[in-house]
Amino acid sequence: MSDNEVFFKWSPDYSVNIKTIDDQHQELVNILNRLFIGVAMCEDDQFIAGILDALKNYTQTHFELEERLMQQAKYKDIEAHKLEHKKLIGQLDQLCKKHALEGKSIQYEMLDFLKAWLQDHILGVDKKYSAAFQQSGFSVDAWEREATAEFSAMAEKTGRWWKIW
């Protein structure tokens, strides 16, 4: 698949100007692209389930990290942000269960929903916390160091579950 044919193409417009978070967002985009390829290539249910599981687990880990850092920075809109995270995790969980238990295939509408949600979330609420951190004088450098260490610890704890391809 060429760069022009990719389902969700990363753009610098999605950057929140925090490298660790941008890297994680790019990995979410990569996982979503891999899911799209799996669906388009009619991969077997076990393969699709593995990608869905990776998407859900990676997303949960990313959200946990983001929320801890927003809490540390005393971000005023953290509760609304956490609620958005919780809703998406619930939707991903339902999707995984439908696929695994009911044998429901992943539809392109669901892929479009996930893509739109990620785009809107990054460009909307994630950009807001990034801007708020910068305006409040919260050290992005310190955040980067902590985020990198925290994410590495989470990855080790979970056995690097997203490395499935």
Name the one residue in this structure whose structure tokens are 């669906």: 39
Sequence-distant (6+) residues with CB within 8 A of 73 are 129, 132, 133, 136, 138, 143
Question: Where does the pLDDT of residue 6 fall: very low under 50, low under 70, confident under 90, or very high at 90 and above?
Answer: confident
pLDDT in tens, 68-83: 889 888 899 999 999 9
The rounded distance, in Å, linking the Cα atoms of 26 and 83 is 22
Higher pLDDT, 107 or 129: 129
The CATH class that applies to domain 18-158 reads mainly alpha
Tokens for 150, please give them. 């925290």
Angle made by CA atoms 84, 87, 89, in degrees to the nearest 5 = 110
On whether the CB atoms of residues 118 and 30 are closer than 8 A, the answer is no
Residue located via tokens 């994630």:
126
Q: What is the DSSP string of 66-92?
A: HHHHHHHTT-TTHHHHHHHHHHHHHHH
pLDDT of residue 4: 55
Q: Could you give the residue ranges of the DSSP H alpha helices within the chain?
A: 19-40, 45-72, 78-101, 108-121, 127-136, 140-158
* Confidence label for 85 from pLDDT (cuts 50, 70 and 90): very high
Using alpha carbons, select from 156, 16, 150 the residue that is nearest to residue 71.
150
Q: Categorize the per-residue pLDDT at 14 as very low, low, confident or very high, splitting at 50, 70 and 90.
A: very high
Q: How confident is the model at residue 161 (pLDDT cuts 50, 70, 90)?
A: very low
Per residue in 111-124, pLDDT (tens digit) is 888 999 999 999 99
pLDDT tens by residue, 23-34: 999 999 999 999
Mean pLDDT estimate for the chain: 84
pLDDT given at position 30: 93
Q: How far apart are CA 48 and CA 37, in angstroms?
A: 10
Name the pTM for this structure: 0.85
Phi and psi at 105, nearest 5°, equal -80, 155
Give the pLDDT score at 50.
85
Q: CA-CA distance, 108 to 115, in Å (whole number)?
A: 10
At 3, is the pLDDT very low, low, confident or very high (cuts 50, 70, 90)?
low
